[in-house]
Structure 1
Amino acid sequence: MPSLVSVAGSERRLRDPNPTPKLLGVGFVFLLTRAGLAVNMGLSENKAGWANLPNEPEYMRLIFLGPPGSGKGTQAKLLSQRLGLLHYATGNILREAIEKDTPEGRLAKPYMANGQLVPDELVNDIVNARFRGTDKPTRFVMDGYPRTLEQALSFDKTLKEQSLGLNAVIFLKVEDEEIVRRNSARWTCTNPECGATYNTVFKPPKQAGRCDICQQSLYQRDDDKPETIRKRVQLFHKLHADVLRHYEQQGLLAEVSATGDIEAIYAGIVNALGTDRK
């Protein structure tokens, strides 16, 4: 892995403002803005080098993306806790808007109450309203947003209006079959009053096929079956290809594997971000 390059002085600009990117597949990606916060992981054809992220966490405005079961939520939460950043999952922002009884929150409430997906346009409105507020976050980790090109463009516009340039977008790379293995290992207790869930890879029951709590049998829901998971993974790739391409055109992409235990993956994130805050 090429070493990170630090840029002396307070300007923190890229040595080459017009790097030539090459296309990435789905991967664990760090996208760094023209503000001069980037890492060279060997994915740019231009070899001039990138500026290192500053160590101060107040400069960090990050996005974490990854396929279902990639651990993006775990890593986003861990990084935000250790670096003192605000962790925002889309669901949290939606619930916050509902609790505050904002105009957008009132529109989203029926969808959330009925377990339905909130329309993308409304999600954009709620996220944008949060970042346009007087108490807008300036140091944050966005978890799982944007999911589509339209959301990415909308979020870019809002951040630009608020002078909040992104420092990095982190994309967790996991092979498709590993994602299927992780997600299809989920089993649920047949007792509706219990409903405990288990993962035969990460959290297996003490007795195979039996709930630890009520001793009832376990079953696999249709949406946890391998064939269903594969369809979800395909949809994920389709949706995020445009998002990655949108950022890739800026020549700011890098990739790191997201396999291994939680701390090993976290160490890779910290190393790639170039921060000594652990």
Structure 2
Amino acid sequence: MLNIVLFGPPGAGKGTQSQFLVERFGLVHLSTGDIFRRNIKEGTQLGQLAQKYMNEGKLVPDEVTINMLKAELEKISEPKGFIFDGFPRTEAQAQALENLLEAMNTAISAMIALEVPEDELKKRLADRAKTSGRADDADPAVIQKRIDVYNAETLPVKHYYEKIGKYRGINGVGTIEEVTKRLVEVINTLQ
């Protein structure tokens, strides 16, 4: 089974590239943000618990996130593999994901990071604000804060995957097609 953590800062192109990889390799795209929103909207027990933490201004505990992810994984019969988008965000989450997949007799094949310089990220996010109407992408201060949070809190997950020999970084600059080609080349080495 092919299981990929698609990694990169805001504006790196993870969402765009995920769509191509799902189609090309028949993978299931799992976005923890989407899973949270759906569980909260549907009022599931885990969604209510997550909403409680969020209402208190607290981070949703890893255990709740992992349980939501586990419930999603269990819904899918005979998958070819998964693309994890937006998760893991910490080393503890990476270890919890490894444990969850191990219990399912599979593992992460690789973390593939879209490496994009900060000035390019800012340009992409500003351009996305014009075309998608995402207000959070229009304010340079908000963009910088999102990049800073990524660098401080999420980037360390890269080191976890480097330590276990599963990190693959690719140049995320170029046309969508060029970046897709680089991703496919890396994925083909994993199969």
TM range (shorter): 0.7 to 0.9
Distance 1:94 1:137 in 2: 23
State the shift of 1:136 in Å. Answer: 6.1
The residue that corresponds to 1:91 in the other structure is: 33
Alignment correspondent of 1:172: 114
The answer to whether structure 1 residue 245 and structure 2 residue 186 are counterparts is no
Which string of whole-angstrom CA distances, capped at 9 and with x for unpartnered residues, describes residues 84-109 of structure 1? 11111112322454576543133235
- Where do 5+ consecutive residues of structure 1 fail to align? 1-58, 188-197, 204-217
1:263 counterpart residue number: 177
1:66 is matched with 8
8 A Cα contact 1:247 1:253, kept in partner: yes
1:233 to 1:80, Cα distance in 2 relative to 1, 3 A: same
Counterparts of 1:261 and 1:223, CA distance in 2: 20
* Structure 2, unpaired ranges of 5+: none
Which residue matches 1:150? 92
The AA in structure 1 aligned to 2:83 is V
Q: Does residue 1:119 correspond to 2:60, yes or no?
A: yes
Question: Which structure carries more strand by proportion?
Answer: 2
Report the CA distance shift for 1:103/1:69 in structure 2 as closer, same or farther (over 3 A).
same
Tell me the secondary structure at the aligned position of residue 83 of structure 2: strand
In structure 2, give the amino acid aligned to 1:254.
R
Q: Which moved more, 1:80-89 or 1:119-128?
A: 119-128
- Of 143, 162, 168, the residue aligned with 1:254 is 168
Aligned residues: 187
**Equivalent residues in 2 for 1:8-157 (5 A)?**
59-98=1-40, 102-109=44-51, 119-121=60-62, 122-131=64-73, 133=74, 135=76, 138=79, 139-157=81-99
Comparing 71-80 with 223-232, greater Cα deviation is found at 223-232
Identity of aligned residues (%): 31
1:152-231 alignment runs, 5 A limit: 152-187=94-129, 198-199=130-131, 224-231=138-145
- What residue number does 1:25 align with? none
* Deviation by residue 1:207-262 (Cα, 9 ceiling, x = unmatched): xxxxxxxxxxx9x9576322332222121011223211111111333321011111
Secondary structure, aligned partner of 2:108: coil
Read off the aligned partner of 1:262 and give its amino acid letter.
I
Give the TM-score normalised by the residue count of structure 1.
0.58
Shift of 1:125: 2.7
Secondary structure of the structure 1 residue equivalent to 2:10: coil
Q: State the shift of 1:268 in Å.
A: 0.8
Aligned counterparts of 2:142 and 2:10: Cα–Cα separation in 1: 12
Q: Is the 8 A contact 1:66 1:144 kept in 2?
A: no
The Cα RMSD (Å) is 3.1
Tell me, in whole angstroms, the C-alpha distance in 1 between the residues paired with 2:157 and 2:77. Answer: 24
* Contact 1:181/1:226 (8 A) holds in 2: no
Q: Distance in 2 between matches of 1:240 and 1:137?
A: 31
Query: Following TM superposition, by how much is the alpha carbon of 1:170 offset from its aligned partner in structure 2, in angstroms?
Result: 1.4
Verify the 8 A CA contact 1:61 1:165 in the aligned structure 2. Answer: yes
